[in-house]
Structure formats: C-alpha cells, structure tokens
C-alpha cells in the first residue's frame, strides 16, 4: 500500500481539482479521483474527511461553491469560484511586508495571531522581496482581544448574523442572556467594545468584550438583519467618539507634576480674574494650561496629584475633580460607603 | 509542534503565485520570502511537484525546471491554473487590519516620517485588499506621550543609541537617568520603554507617558541580556490589598493586573491586588472612589481619604463659603 498522503498535499490536490473542473465535481468524483481520498477506509471516514477539508478551505477564504445540477436529481457537486478566489491587485514592498510581520506579533490571543499569520502568508506572495524588519526594530506593539469573544464576533459582524451570549452589566452587576445584532467592534481605552442592536431591548447597545461570560454563539441564518442606517450607527458610536480638544487651566506647586507640565501649551484666552479665588490659589503655584479631550480622563489624572495640582477650569473639569475628591475623602468612613 | 496542514497549504499556494511572478528564484531567497527554512522550501517544492489535477499524469502536474532546481534555483514551468494569490479570509483581514490600526495609533509618536509613511501605505494597501471586512473594526487608541520624547525614543531604538531621560515615577518624583533602550512595548493604550538603566544596573520598564524629556546621545546603546518576560509588567513582592467594589468598578479589573477576582451574589466583587507602589494604589482609589465599598487593610483607605482631604483644602479659595469641603 502506498504511504498515506500528507493532509496539506490532499488539500492542495482538492483545491487544484476544484479550480480546474469543468462545471463541478461530485463527492464520488472527489473520492475516486483526487489524490489522498482513496486512503479513506470507509464511507463514513471519507464523508468526515471531505466535510472537514471543505470547512477548512472555506475557513481559509477559498470560495468553495455548492452546485446542484437539476439534470442529476439532488446530486450535489462542488467547484471553486475563481472570480471570488483572488486577492485584489496589490503589491507590497519589503518594508511594507516588514510592517505586516510586526503586526502578527500585536495580538496576545493565539487564535487571532494564527489568523494574522495566515493573512501574512498570503500577502507574502505579492511581496516584491523578503520582508525587511530592521525599519521597525525595537518596537513591540501588543493588543489584547479581551477573551475568546473577538473571533466569533468578527465573523458575525461580517455575516450579519445575530449572536447570543451571557453578559454582566456594569451598571447593575446583573448577569443576563443577550441576543444582539452585531454592527461593529471598537478598540477603545480599556478594551474592546461591541456595538449592535439588542433584540430584547429593541435598541442599540454597547457591550464590553471583557464582560461577556463564556462563549458567543451565532443564532439564526447569516444576513438575517439589515445593516444599521448611518444615523443609527452614528448614534450608537457617539458615546465612543472623542470630543474636540479643549484647554484646561491648572495651578501646580513648584517642581511637581512634571508629566502634566511636559504637555503644557499657551492659552492667551484664559482670564484669571474670571475664576473667583484663582489668584489666591495661584500664590506659590504655577499656572499651567493642558490640552484634553475627555473631562473625566483629565479629572482622574489630576486627582492623582492630590494637593499638588488644583483644577481652575473649565468648571466641568473642576467639578469632576471635586466630585472624585469629596467621594474619596469619605473612603475611611464605613457608614458612607457607596451603594452598589 | 508540527506545522498545521492549513498553514502549509497556504504557503504552497502562495509560493506558486509568487513563482508565477518571479522567474529563477534561489531556494534561499524563496525561504526568506516566506519566512521558513530552505529545507522547508525543498519539502514544499517536492510536494508541489507531485500535485495537480486528477489523473496525475506528467502534464496534469505542477511542474518546475528540473535542471535549475539541481542548481538550487526554483523556476515554475506549469502552474495548473493556480497563479492567482488567494484573497484574505474575513477573520484574517479583520485581525490584520485591526493590528495595523492599533500599531498606527500606539506607535505613532515614536515613528519618524519615513517609518510612519511605510506603516500608512501598508495599512492602506491591506485595507483595500480586505474590502468590506475592514469596516468591521474601528480602532481609537490614544497613547499619551510627549511628542519630543516619543520621537527621541523611536530614533534611539532605530539607530541603536543611548538615551538620556527625565522620568517621573508614580509618586511624582522626577529623576534623570541614562538608559540603553531595548524595546518599545505598547499595550493597548499604554506604552512602556524597556531599557537598561545604567544607574541601577538592571532592566526597567518606563511608562512612556511619564518620560517627560528624552535626548538621543552620541554613545551607542550597549547590548544587555534581558530575561524572558521582562517586557510584561508583573508586580512582585508587593503589599496584598483587597478591594470590595460595586459592579461599576469592573473597569479596574479590566485595566489592572489583578491577583484574583471574586464575583459576589449582589453583583459587587472583590479584587486582590499586589501593590508595589502605594502612590499607584492611592491614585486608583481616588479614581474609583464612587465604586469602593470596602478596602482591606483599612489603613489603605485612610491614607487615600486623608490625601483627598488635603487636596480638597487647596480648593477652599475657589468655593463659596457655604459650600466648603
């Protein structure tokens, strides 16, 4: 008996056969003529082998079409759709391939790393030469995927297929089953976010991937919901989009808060006398202006300096700082513990 | 671990498409192109040579120039219709596009014009090749870094030079040091410089947003052995602190290396932290004050509350008399 054919070789023979077939190949034709399938010891073993190979090819992006021929009753055949097979015309320089090699190392999650590696292998075929990595030497970017939900959600977004998962809401701590029509995945400060339509609530909702418990399961058929309208999507993304850059005024003790001072800008528009009490605060302190986009992010940064940094304005920033400080000032009074 | 069949399949398909575009490629060059050993290339070519369309007679097979192959040169003679490079799968495209966007966002400050342009063109080309898939993800990560310091770190790494940095630690103490940069590690929206600190004779992780100034020196950076995992922040030997937090404080476990997390029936949870820098924990408590139910040991809560009361006192002139603190 001839030695068993390597699975990679069998897959390759299957691809070549389905690309070159005139019309289509039935399972029986595959079994009798494509190298590697003769090894199957039984009908069941062949079925399993062929189904698995077909899934593998589709998973890799090979467009395996199912073709039924009415003249042959229910007889099902297969071929590869050459029009959909090819990568759009593109050519990559060695330096660009070097960037893609580094991208493979970005993901901390093994599945996503494998996906990125496969994408790189495909793109190496359209590289003008081997990847040049010296350009980005010493750089090690990393991104977490926040658990196992990312991969299935990407697929669901692309297929427009609803998903089902268990979610722990941050507002209440309540753990509940959710069925969601997934629209988009966002990478934001603090992790990944899924934006979509919550079917039970009948409205757009956001979900932190890190708060999804257990697996994400597709429900129903692909293409089962219409894509969101531009307005719906914009509305859902609004909370996750950064506002315009503004300038805050802070009063800083000498030689303190060097990290804030390093970001200092000029602000000719600031009027000390428009802030009652500011002149008194500024005695023995430096007036520093810093740019910011998110009020609460800046407030959280400022409270870390305690008495060394006083927020003068805008009032939104000052109130946010005061709110945090007042709450924190009662941390050692048990009766005042916040309610969940 | 032996290579998985799908990965080998993709490389062999890629090789045929590549060889259709390039004549007479040396085995070593083909190995470099696909990031594998020359031995693997020989094994792949040998496999390709016996694959083809059913029948598998000589003219059915993928074929190479045999005499060239004996000289270590791969020349494709017959491709059996496999000349097109395979498109990206949906998940592959998204994973790659998201990784590139995250790189552009997080490495931005450390890249000079040339390198920023390469990253941008790679991203543009892959986004075009990915088609609709690219729309599935939206990456907005902003890494806080002083532009001057970010550029200097990037330059020192690229040219292998020593750096002089001004660094502010979690306790707001500023120090000046000379360091040999090893790696710039960006993790989500945070970014660290792994460097050999010449003053403390050891490798250190510096938060890039706390490097307030950096100058590239003329001296070359020396090579230093770096233990595995040195670029991952692992608090060791710190004080054990347990926070009992309301559900809204869940972001803390999402952004902080926690020793353990215990969910409680009412939706609140406890998180065990190993705290090396008391100033870091105090800052965390101030940020999360709204969600803190209990802190153990209690002195930690007292320290944070006293710190907040001192800060509030500094606001007195800004507040109406009846509002006070």
Which residues have a Cβ under 8 Å from the Cβ of B71 and sit 6 or more positions away?
none
Instruction: Compute the nearest-CA separation of B273 from chain A (Å).
Output: 18
Nearest Cβ partner for B185 among A122, A142, A329: A142
Residue of chain B with shortest Cα separation from A312: B318
Specify the DSSP class assigned to residue A263. Answer: T
Q: Using a CB–CB cutoff of 8 Å, tell me whether A60 touches chain B.
A: yes
Q: Report residue B301 CA to chain centroid gap.
A: 34
Rg, C-alpha atoms of chain B: 28
Nearest Cβ partner for A154 among B90, B102, B250: B90
Planar angle of CA A68, B86, A101, nearest 5 degrees: 150
Instruction: Compute the nearest-CA separation of B315 from chain A (Å).
Output: 7
> pLDDT-derived band of residue B146, with 50, 70 and 90 as boundaries?
confident
Specify the DSSP class assigned to residue B229. Answer: T
By CB neighbour count within 10 A (0-12 exposed, 13-18 middle, 19+ buried), where does B200 fall?
exposed
Interface contact flag, B247 A184, Cβ < 8 Å: no
| Partners of residue B146 in chain A, C-beta under 8 Å | 262-263
Confirm or reject CATH 3.40.50 for domain B5-78, answering yes or no: no
Q: What are the backbone dihedrals phi and psi of residue B180, each rounded to the nearest 5 degrees, phi first?
A: -100, 110
Q: Using a CB–CB cutoff of 8 Å, tell me whether A88 touches chain B.
A: yes
Q: B140-171 b/e with 16+ CB inside 10 Å = b?
A: bbebbbbeebbbbbbbbbbeebbbbbbbbebe
Query: Can you tell me the distance from the alpha carbon of A91 to that of B83, in angstroms, rounded to the nearest whole number?
Result: 15
Cβ(B164)–Cβ(B217) below 8 Å: yes
pLDDT in tens, chain A (340 residues): 455 788 999 999 999 999 999 889 999 999 999 999 998 889 999 999 999 999 999 989 999 999 887 676 667 899 999 989 999 999 999 999 999 998 888 887 778 888 999 999 999 999 998 888 777 777 877 777 777 788 889 889 988 999 999 998 877 778 899 999 999 998 887 778 999 999 999 999 999 888 888 889 999 999 989 989 989 988 888 888 777 889 999 999 998 998 889 888 998 889 999 999 999 999 999 999 998 888 888 999 999 999 999 999 899 999 999 999 999 999 988 654 454 4
Residue of chain B with shortest Cα separation from A273: B318
Quote the pLDDT of residue A172. Answer: 73
| Number of inter-chain CB pairs under 8 A, A vs B | 437
**SS3 category, A275:** coil
Interface contact flag, B87 A308, Cβ < 8 Å: no
Instruction: Compute the nearest-CA separation of A170 from chain B (Å).
Output: 5
Nearest Cβ partner for A256 among B34, B172, B209: B172
Q: At A170, list the tokens.
A: 């941050």
Query: Can you tell me the distance from the alpha carbon of B82 to that of B78, in angstroms, rounded to the nearest whole number?
Result: 9
Q: What are the backbone dihedrals phi and psi of residue B241, each rounded to the nearest 5 degrees, phi first?
A: -130, 135
ipTM of predicted complex: 0.80
Domain segments of chain B as ranges: 5-78, 90-136, 154-220, 239-314
Q: Beta strands B260-263 and B269-275: pairing type?
A: antiparallel
Task: Please name the residues between 280 and 309 in chain A that touch chain B, using a CB distance below 8 Å.
Answer: 280-281, 293, 300, 303-308
Instruction: Compute the nearest-CA separation of A223 from chain B (Å).
Output: 14
Quote the pLDDT of residue A339. Answer: 47
Nearest Cβ partner for B186 among A34, A136, A141: A141
Planar angle of CA B138, B144, B147, nearest 5 degrees: 115
Instruction: Say if pTM beats, i.e. exceeds, 0.90.
Output: no
Give residue for tokens 């939104």: A316
Mutation target to probe the B interface, by most B beta carbons within 10 A, among A14, A84, A85, A141 is A141
Interface contact flag, A303 B88, Cβ < 8 Å: no
Cβ(A138)–Cβ(B183) below 8 Å: yes
Q: Using a CB–CB cutoff of 8 Å, tell me whether A332 touches chain B.
A: yes
Rg, C-alpha atoms of chain A: 29
Interface contact flag, A123 B51, Cβ < 8 Å: no
Name which CATH class applies to B154-220: mainly beta
Per residue, what are the HEC states of B247-265? Answer: HHHHHHHHHCCCCEEEECC
Interface contact flag, A125 B85, Cβ < 8 Å: yes
Quote the pLDDT of residue B320. Answer: 81
Nearest Cβ partner for B10 among A122, A241, A310: A122
| Partners of residue A282 in chain B, C-beta under 8 Å | none
Name which CATH class applies to B239-314: alpha beta
Element counts in chain A: helices (H) and strands (E): 12, 13
Mutation target to probe the B interface, by most B beta carbons within 10 A, among A89, A99, A208, A265 is A99
Interface contact flag, A60 B89, Cβ < 8 Å: yes
Q: Report residue B171 CA to chain centroid gap.
A: 26
What domains are defined for chain A? 7-85 (1.10.10.10), 94-136 (no CATH), 150-238 (2.30.30), 246-329 (no CATH)
């Amino acid at each position: 008996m001839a030695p068993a054919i390597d699975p990679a070789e069998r897959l390759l023979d299957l691809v070549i056969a389905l690309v070159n077939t005139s019309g289509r190949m039935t399972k029986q034709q595959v079994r009798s003529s494509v190298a590697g399938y003769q090894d199957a010891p039984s009908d069941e073993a062949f079925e399993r082998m062929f189904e698995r190979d077909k899934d593998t090819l589709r998973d890799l992006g090979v467009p395996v079409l199912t073709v039924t021929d009415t003249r042959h009753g229910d007889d099902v055949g297969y071929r590869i759709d050459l029009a959909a097979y090819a990568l759009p015309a593109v050519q990559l320089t060695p330096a660009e391939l070097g960037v893609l090699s580094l991208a493979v190392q970005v993901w901390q999650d093994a599945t996503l790393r494998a996906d990125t590696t496969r994408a790189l292998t495909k793109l190496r075929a359209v590289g003008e030469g081997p990847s040049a990595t010296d350009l980005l030497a010493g750089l090690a970017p990393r991104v977490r995927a926040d658990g196992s939900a990312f991969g299935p959600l990407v697929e669901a977004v692309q297929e427009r297929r609803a998903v089902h998962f268990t979610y722990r809401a941050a507002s209440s701590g309540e753990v509940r089953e959710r069925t969601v029509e997934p629209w988009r995945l966002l990478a934001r400060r603090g992790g990944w976010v899924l934006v979509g339509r919550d079917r039970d609530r009948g409205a757009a909702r956001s979900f932190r991937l890190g708060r999804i418990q257990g697996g994400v399961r597709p429900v129903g058929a692909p293409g089962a919901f219409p894509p969101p309208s531009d307005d719906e999507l914009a509305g859902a993304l609004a909370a996750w989009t950064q506002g315009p850059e503004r300038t805050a005024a802070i009063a800083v003790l000498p030689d303190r808060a060097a990290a804030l001072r390093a970001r200092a800008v000029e602000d000719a528009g600031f009027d000390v006398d428009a802030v009652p009490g500011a002149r008194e605060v500024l005695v023995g302190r430096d007036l520093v202006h810093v740019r910011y986009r998110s009020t609460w992010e800046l407030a959280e940064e400022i409270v870390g300096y305690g008495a060394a940094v006083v927020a003068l304005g805008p009032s939104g920033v000052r109130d946010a700082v005061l709110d945090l400080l007042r709450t924190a000032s009662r941390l050692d009074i048990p009766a005042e513990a916040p309610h969940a | 671990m032996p290579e998985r069949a799908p990965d080998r399949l993709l490389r062999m398909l890629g090789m045929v498409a590549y060889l259709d575009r390039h004549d007479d490629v040396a085995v070593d060059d083909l190995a470099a192109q696909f990031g594998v050993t020359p031995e693997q290339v020989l094994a792949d070519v040998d496999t390709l040579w016996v694959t083809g369309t059913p029948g598998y007679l000589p003219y059915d097979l993928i074929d190479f120039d045999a005499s060239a192959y004996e000289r270590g040169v791969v020349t494709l003679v017959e491709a059996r219709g496999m000349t097109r490079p395979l498109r990206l799968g949906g998940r592959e495209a998204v994973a790659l596009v998201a990784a590139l966007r995250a790189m552009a966002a997080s490495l931005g400050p450390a890249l000079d014009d040339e390198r920023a342009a390469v990253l941008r063109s790679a991203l543009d080309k892959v986004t075009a090749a990915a088609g609709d898939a690219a729309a599935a993800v939206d990456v907005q990560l902003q890494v806080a870094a002083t532009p001057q310091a970010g550029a200097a770190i990037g330059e020192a790494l690229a040219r292998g030079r020593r750096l002089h940095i001004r660094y502010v630690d979690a306790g707001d103490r500023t120090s000046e040091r000379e360091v040999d940069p090893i790696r710039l590690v960006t993790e989500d929206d945070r970014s660290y410089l792994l460097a050999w600190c010449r003053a403390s004779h050891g490798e250190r992780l510096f938060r890039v947003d706390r490097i307030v100034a950096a100058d590239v020196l003329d001296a070359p950076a020396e090579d230093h052995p770096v233990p595995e995992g040195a670029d991952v922040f692992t608090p060791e030997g710190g004080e054990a602190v347990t926070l009992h937090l309301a559900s809204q404080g869940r972001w803390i476990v999402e952004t902080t290396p926690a020793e353990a997390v215990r969910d409680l029936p009412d939706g609140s949870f406890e998180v065990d932290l190993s705290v090396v820098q008391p100033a870091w924990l105090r800052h965390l408590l101030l940020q999360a004050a709204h969600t803190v139910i209990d802190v153990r040991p209690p002195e930690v809560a007292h320290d944070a509350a006293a710190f907040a009361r001192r800060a509030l006192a500094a606001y007195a002139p800004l507040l109406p008399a009846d509002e006070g603190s």
